[in-house]
């Protein structure tokens, strides 16, 4: 049976680049993008698109049947900062969308499911440095609670019903193509835009706030790698810790100054500081490295060069 991929929430920060990469690998027509809104021109022009509300079981099923979908990536969710403003909606979206795809997989409508978790599953009582795969998990945000519950349900569906679900706890993801969608690590994207546009940035996280982060290309590679792994190598069916780098706002500012010497950073924290303070500062991802060969490629220096060069070109084209 040919692989046919459906991405739900394809127009977001990660979904956009994941769709483009999977189309490059599998062919444009083998990757169906879907969302409740249209995406970038590049995404919309590069292959099939369907409107799907992840909360509606039947609309997902119709598209799965129409294209004979084999693999589903559920990228639709409400993220940490927005989730704190709309807790009930965040819970409803994050849980119902997951149950829909888990149940469709259980009923044999498709074969393999990717669902992302997050470092938000950890909380204030979790060890902050080099946070282990298995440790105390008492998340304090609605988003984190939904991701932790989601992880438990993924493992349950794997154990009880043999659903081939695979998951990664993404750290903060940094990219230039699509803007981030309301997370606590969004500052690390905004800072590059502001450096080029106005030469300064007022950070909503304080100096010293160190968080685990990853450049988009590494996140996409990890996602595709875990989906391509042999099922027996995916030993953890809740979600894998995943890491690349950790840094503070002042460390990223220093990297920017090497390329934009006049750049200045100031600090004015808001409600997102509390969320950041509850999360790990660094992550032990040795299980992902051992089980399915995960290896990151991009560090803070390389990422800063890519972000500033790519955004510079993008702004010149506008
Ligand atoms: N970006 C990060 O730093 C990060 C970190 C950890 C985990 N994650 C997880 O990765 C996944 C993707 O995150 P992202 O940053 O791309 O999010 P995003 O907010 O940028 O994109 C989410 C997409 O889902 C769509 N969507 C919202 N409600 C929908 C619905 N009912 N039906 C269909 N589509 C709907 C939105 O229109 C949007 O295009 C999420 O599960 C998120 O929790 C992201």
- Catalytic, out of 57, 130, 143, 157: 143
By percentage, how much of the chain surpasses pLDDT 70?
100
3 state SS of 152: helix
Record the pTM.
Answer: 0.98
| pLDDT tens digits, one per residue of 178-236 | 999 999 999 999 999 999 999 999 999 999 999 999 999 999 999 999 999 999 999 99
Alpha helix (H) ranges present in the chain? 13-26, 41-45, 57-67, 80-85, 87-106, 142-161, 187-197, 216-228, 249-259, 272-277, 286-292, 300-317
Query: Judging by DSSP bridges, how do beta strands 200-203 and 240-241 pair with one another?
Result: unpaired
Average pLDDT of the chain, as a whole number: 98
| Degrees, nearest 5: CA angle 185-129-226 | 65
CA of 73 to the centre of ligand 1 (A): 11
Residue 318 banded pLDDT, cuts 50, 70, 90: confident
Q: Which domains does the chain have, with CATH numbers?
A: 5-171+215-233 (3.40.50.720), 173-213+244-317 (3.40.50.720)
Mean per-residue pLDDT, 272-299: 98
Q: Is the pLDDT of residue 67 over 90?
A: yes
Instruction: Classify the C-alpha dihedral 99-104-107-110 as positive or negative.
Output: negative
Shortest-distance Cα residue to atom 44 of ligand 1: 170
Q: Identify the pLDDT of residue 113.
A: 99
| pLDDT tens digits, one per residue of 22-35 | 999 999 999 999 99
Return the axis-axis angle of helices 142-161 and 87-106, rounded to nearest 10°: 10
Contacts for 232-235: CB closer than 8 Å, 24+ residues apart = 233/291, 233/292, 234/166, 234/291, 234/292, 235/287, 235/291
Q: The tokens of 267 are what?
A: 């600090």
Of the candidates 121, 122, 115, the residue with the CA atom closest to the CA atom of residue 157: 115
CA–CA dist 40, 5 (Å, integer): 19
CA of 37 to the centre of ligand 1 (A): 12
Mean per-residue pLDDT, 146-159: 98
| pLDDT tens digits, one per residue of 128-148 | 999 999 999 999 999 999 999
Shortest-distance Cα residue to atom 12 of ligand 1: 75
Q: The tokens of 229 are what?
A: 């792994």
Q: Is the pLDDT of residue 1 over 80?
A: no
């Amino acid at each position: 049976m040919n692989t046919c991929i459906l991405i739900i929430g394809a127009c977001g920060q990660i979904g956009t680049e994941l769709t483009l990469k999977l189309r490059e690998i599998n062919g444009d027509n083998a990757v169906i993008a879907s969302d409740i809104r249209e995406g970038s021109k590049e995404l919309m022009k590069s292959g099939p698109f369907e409107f799907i509300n992840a909360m509606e079981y039947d609309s997902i099923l119709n598209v799965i049947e129409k294209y004979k979908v084999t693999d589903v990536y559920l990228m639709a969710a409400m993220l940490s900062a927005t989730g704190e403003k709309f807790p009930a909606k965040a819970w409803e979206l994050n849980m119902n969308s997951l149950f829909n795809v888990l149940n469709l997989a259980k009923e044999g409508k498709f074969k393999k499911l990717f669902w992302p978790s997050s470092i938000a599953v950890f909380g204030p009582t979790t060890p902050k440095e080099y946070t282990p795969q298995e440790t105390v998990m008492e998340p304090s945000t609605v988003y984190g609670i939904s991701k932790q519950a989601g992880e438990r349900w993924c493992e349950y569906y794997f154990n009880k019903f043999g659903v081939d679900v695979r998951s990664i706890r993404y750290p903060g993801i940094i990219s230039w193509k699509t803007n981030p969608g309301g997370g606590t690590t969004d500052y690390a994207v905004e800072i590059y835009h502001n450096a080029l546009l106005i030469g300064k940035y007022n950070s909503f996280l304080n100096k010293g706030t160190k968080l685990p982060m990853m450049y988009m290309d590494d996140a996409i590679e990890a996602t595709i790698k875990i989906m391509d792994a042999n099922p027996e190598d995916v030993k953890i069916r809740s979600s894998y810790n995943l890491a690349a780098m950790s840094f503070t706002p002042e460390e990223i500012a220093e990297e920017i100054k090497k390329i934009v010497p006049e750049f200045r950073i100031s600090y004015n924290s808001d409600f997102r500081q509390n969320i950041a303070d509850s999360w790990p500062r660094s992550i032990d991802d040795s299980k992902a490295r051992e089980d399915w060969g995960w290896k990151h490629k991009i560090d803070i220096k390389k990422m800063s060069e890519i972000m500033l060069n790519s955004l510079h070109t993008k702004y010149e084209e506008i």
